[in-house]
Amino acid sequence: MSSGSRSSRQRSHSSRISDDQIIQLVSKLRQLVPEIRNRRSDKVSASKVLQETCNYIKNLHREVDDLSERLGQLLSTIDADSAEAAIIRSLLSN
Amino acid sequence: MRNQRSVKQEFLRKWITGLRRYSCDEKKNMSFLERKKAIKLSADIAMASTRDKTTRWSQALIANASSSGDTLTGSSKNNSSRSRKKMLMMRRRRPKVKSAKKEMSASCIAKRLAEKRTRKLKNLLPGGESIDEGCLVEETLDYIESLRAQIEVMRYLVTASQLIINPYP
């Protein structure tokens, strides 16, 4: 008998990530971001990893936002065509 | 792992193309905020399009962008799922599930916490609402990788622009 404390609608598919996936996420994250370190390598709490991941993504979003802002200022002061063409050419050739 | 260098080049190319659509005369009259939004949006779309519809987040991002009236990609996606996604977005405010059971086991609590954080992660991904958990980790990793590449290229452009403005610092 459902105690009613869980909405069955939420459980249309399980919102549990499998342990394997957590391990995969952890190992990949550590490759990408050396700063994300675990206290012990084998015992990893799923929620902690998820939280680290969320924080990391939020930081990335913030950085994109910040860079867009800076570019907004910079690009407005550059004369459109000539400078942009120069940038593009040099960047694409790298 | 994709070849990051070619990805970045493709991204840069597409992004510049997108940016150009905003330049010409409009640029002079755009407010600072509008310009920032245009830059960010074209960057996001350019990055998403390098994925070539192979990931959910990139599809969702492009779909959301087209639905907001912007067609930087040139091809308008006919997404009937677009409105469905909007509905799902609105359903995000689910009622808080309060359990009065004090005798919940520790593992149960941990499980709930993991579920809560999984939801949080899904919310951060474009189109993450409707993603199923089997793909979530893969999508997340791909998204992170793309964001990192995007940021690198954007940083590069910042540096290059600064040099153009002030070649002899």
Query: Residue A63: its pLDDT value, please?
Result: 94
Residue that the structure tokens 């407005």 belong to = A76
Residue that the structure tokens 């609590």 belong to = B109
Taking CA atoms, what residue in B is nearest to A60? Answer: B147
Q: How far apart are CA B106 and CA B88, in angstroms?
A: 31
With vertex at residue A30, the alpha carbon angle to CA A42 and CA B156, rounded to the nearest 5 degrees, is 175
pLDDT tens for A2-42 read 444 444 444 444 556 677 777 777 777 777 765 555 555 55
Taking CA atoms, what residue in B is nearest to A92? Answer: B9
Domains of chain A as residue ranges with CATH: 19-93 (4.10.280)
Q: Calculate what percentage of chain B has a pLDDT beyond 70.
A: 72
pTM of the predicted protein model: 0.70
For this complex, say whether ipTM is above 0.85. no
Extended strands (E) in chain B: none
- All residues of chain A having their beta carbon less than 8 Å from the beta carbon of residue B160 are 87, 90-91
Are the beta carbons of A60 and B20 separated by less than 8 Å?
no
* Two tokens, residue B48: 């998403």
Contact predicate B139/B57, CB 8 Å: yes
Are the beta carbons of B121 and A75 separated by less than 8 Å?
no
Query: Residue A5: its pLDDT value, please?
Result: 46
Q: What is the mean pLDDT of residues B152-165?
A: 84
* pLDDT surpasses 80 at A84: no
Q: Identify the residue with better confidence: B49 or B71.
A: B49
Nearest to B118 among A15, A28, A78 (CB): A15
Are the beta carbons of A50 and B43 separated by less than 8 Å?
no
A85 touches chain B (CB under 8 A): no
Q: How far apart are CA B51 and CA B53, in angstroms?
A: 6
Distance from CA of A8 to the nearest CA of B (A): 11
Q: What is the mean pLDDT of residues A50-57?
A: 89
A2 touches chain B (CB under 8 A): no
* Two tokens, residue B160: 């290059």
How far are the Cα atoms of A32, A38, B105, B143 from residue A49, in angstroms, in the given order? 14, 9, 21, 16
Least Cα distance to A32 among B149, B44, B122 occurs for B149
